[in-house]
Amino acid sequence: MKKIIQPVYDRVFEGNEARAELAKLLWKETVAALKEAGAVSPVNLARADRYVRARVEYEDIYKVAAEEGPVLKGTEGGEYFNYRWSACEKLNQRMLKLEKAMFGEATARVPKEKPKAGSAPSDEFLGPNNELRQ
């Protein structure tokens, strides 16, 4: 694997130093997680870049969206859906897809027990020593 080169977030988030610094921090964290999982590849590094950009955007609008809530009041008393809230939901879904693509599913799987020799599926309900089987 060639040297991992961080995207130039100062240029990507030109004029917003706070976003650029957050992106650099998130990039380092994401690449470290990829290394730990043994999942560093050119494809995952491209995904990591998209993930970082989405996460920076999410962090920027989430505070306002959470404060405002999903429904806003109009000037004439009506209500309308908060577009920031919707943007947060969509960014959240995008980040989850990228995380799954980079790291896979993180759900614990219960190992299946092998059935004992001479057992039958009905043993679960009737017990292994039921008198109907004998």
User: What pLDDT shows up at residue 128?
Assistant: 60
pLDDT of residue 89: 94
81 three-state secondary structure: strand
- pLDDT tens per residue across span 1-48: 678 999 999 999 999 999 999 999 999 999 999 999 999 999 999 999
Give exposure, 31-61, as e/b (b: 16+ Cβ within 10 Å): beebeeeebbeeebbebbbebbbbbbbbeee
